[in-house]
């Protein structure tokens, strides 16, 4: 997709363009960590253990939502009701147990390079994740030393409403002290893209999983890249240069 076309479409939709960039908001799973296959496996096992039929791949569709939302979604389908608090707690604990028993997830290829570019451009990296998986959150600083400062992190523990509600991204903007027009989001999941778009932020989707591009587009992604290395190597700097030129022209 052409960057100029994407920015023009964004302007038509929102009435402004991204300019004077100050922050890049990053989703975590499927963007910074190649963790989605472990998440989908863990959800599949935890839910199947309850005798509820489900498909492993369906959990890619719920990526970005809170654990509570995912469990309630499955419960409503299976039992026509939401889960009680004790059920939510127990199932999420089981899901985490499976997750933590799997081989450690790898950092996403291309993520380090991209974060380096962000730092060199003097932009604030902000984490905006629906995850409450402490093992991954703790590994952030190990894999990406001194990139994400605690004051610039939004996790499952900070929000009432998870993605696709815009609250996580609005909170990320607030923490960074920037306007929607001064930020860009990097997401990989349809629900995450919807949340970012609803927050009024220019949204780049990196399609690191099995979800078709068309679903990311329908969710409102402004630009779609096939993976993080391509975005890190070409897309990000092209986007920065394009936006800078636009700004100088105006």
In the complex, the residues that contact Mg ion under the rule CB under 5 A are 27, 29-30, 188-189
CB of 86 to Mg ion, least distance (A): 28
Residue closer to Mg ion, measured from CB, 105 or 188 = 188
Interhelix angle 67-79/85-101, rounded to 10 degrees, is 120
The first and second tokens of residue 234, run together, are 């070409």
CB of 232 to Mg ion, least distance (A): 16
CA 20 from chain centre, in angstroms, equals 22
Phi, psi of 15 (to 5 degrees): 85, 5
CB of 188 to Mg ion, least distance (A): 4
Residue closer to Mg ion, measured from CB, 27 or 182 = 27
Q: Which residues are 26's β-sheet partners? A: 127, 186
CB of 228 to Mg ion, least distance (A): 12
Residue closer to Mg ion, measured from CB, 173 or 189 = 189
Residue closer to Mg ion, measured from CB, 42 or 188 = 188
CB of 119 to Mg ion, least distance (A): 21
Phi, psi of 249 (to 5 degrees): -70, -40
SS3 183: strand
Q: What is the DSSP letter of 233?
A: I
Interhelix angle 236-249/3-14, rounded to 10 degrees, is 60
| CB closest to Mg ion, residue no | 30
Residue closer to Mg ion, measured from CB, 189 or 201 = 189
Residue closer to Mg ion, measured from CB, 30 or 235 = 30
122 touches 22 (CB < 8 A): no
CB of 246 to Mg ion, least distance (A): 29
Residue closer to Mg ion, measured from CB, 7 or 220 = 220
The first and second tokens of residue 108, run together, are 């996403």
| Distance of alpha carbon 70 from alpha carbon 59, whole angstroms | 8
From 23, 243, 56, select the one nearest 125 (Cα to Cα). Answer: 23
26 touches 186 (CB < 8 A): yes
CB of 153 to Mg ion, least distance (A): 15
Contacts of 121 (CB under 8 A, 6+ apart): 21, 240
């Amino acid at each position: 997709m052409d960057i100029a076309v994407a920015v023009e479409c964004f302007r038509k939709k929102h009435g402004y363009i991204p300019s004077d960039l100050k922050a890049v908001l990053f989703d975590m799973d499927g963007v910074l960590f190649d963790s989605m296959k472990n998440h989908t496996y863990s959800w599949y096992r935890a839910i199947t253990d309850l005798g509820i039929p489900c498909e492993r791949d369906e959990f890619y569709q719920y990526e970005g939502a809170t654990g509570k939302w995912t469990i309630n979604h499955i419960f409503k389908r299976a039992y026509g009701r939401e889960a009680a608090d004790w059920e939510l707690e127990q199932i999420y604990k089981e899901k985490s147990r499976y997750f933590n028993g799997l081989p450690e997830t790898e950092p996403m290829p291309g993520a380090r390079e991209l974060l380096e570019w962000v730092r060199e451009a003097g932009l604030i990296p902000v984490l905006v994740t629906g995850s409450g998986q402490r093992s991954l959150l703790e590994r952030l600083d190990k894999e990406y030393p001194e990139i994400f400062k605690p004051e610039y992190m939004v996790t499952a523990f900070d929000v009432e409403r998870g993605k696709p509600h815009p609250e996580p991204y609005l909170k990320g903007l607030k923490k960074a002290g920037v306007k929607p027009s001064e930020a860009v989001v990097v997401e990989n999941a349809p629900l995450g893209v919807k949340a970012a778009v609803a927050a009024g932020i220019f949204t780049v989707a990196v399609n690191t999983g099995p979800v078709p591009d068309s679903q990311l587009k329908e969710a409102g992604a402004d630009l779609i890249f096939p993976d993080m290395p391509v975005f890190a190597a070409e897309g990000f700097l092209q986007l920065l240069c394009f936006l800078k030129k636009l700004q100088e022209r105006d």
